[in-house]
């Protein structure tokens, strides 16, 4: 009998594992170029020595900062909660009580 060459989890063709998709790489490159241009414009000083950031209200500046931080630091997930909202410790206590009876 011949062994089946297509074993589960074995890559037999296509891109090399870990390589970037061409379209994804191109899109990322264009987005980086755009963000670099926007950053340069935002931080460029005008004739009075002010940047775009200097011209907005402090509350707006904080709002923009928080929105950008969401991309850098995702909100933490409470790993103690299961799908039903039960805390892991409470669930384990309940299981242990039922076993010890």
> How is residue 55 annotated by DSSP?
G
Contact assessment for residue 42 and residue 52, using Cβ atoms and an 8 Å cutoff:
yes
Q: What is the pLDDT of residue 60?
A: 92
Contact assessment for residue 88 and residue 82, using Cβ atoms and an 8 Å cutoff:
yes
Rounded Cα distance, 77 and 90, in Å: 18
Q: What is the pLDDT of residue 57?
A: 92
Which of 69, 40, 36, 67 minimizes the C-alpha distance to 53? 40
Q: What is the pLDDT of residue 82?
A: 58
pLDDT of 71-100, one tens digit each? Answer: 888 776 666 555 666 676 777 777 777 776
Q: What is the pLDDT of residue 94?
A: 76
pLDDT of 19-67, one tens digit each? Answer: 778 888 889 899 999 999 998 998 999 999 999 989 999 999 888 888 8
Q: What is the pLDDT of residue 24?
A: 84
């Amino acid at each position: 009998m011949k062994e089946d060459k297509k074993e589960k989890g074995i890559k037999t063709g296509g891109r090399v594992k870990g390589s970037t998709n061409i379209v994804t790489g191109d899109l990322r490159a264009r987005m980086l170029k755009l963000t670099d241009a926007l950053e340069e414009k935002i931080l460029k000083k005008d004739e009075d020595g002010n940047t775009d950031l200097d011209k907005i209200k402090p509350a707006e500046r904080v709002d923009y900062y928080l929105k950008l931080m969401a991309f850098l630091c995702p909100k933490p997930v409470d790993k103690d909660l299961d799908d039903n909202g039960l805390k892991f410790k409470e669930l384990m206590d309940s299981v242990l009580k039922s076993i010890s009876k």
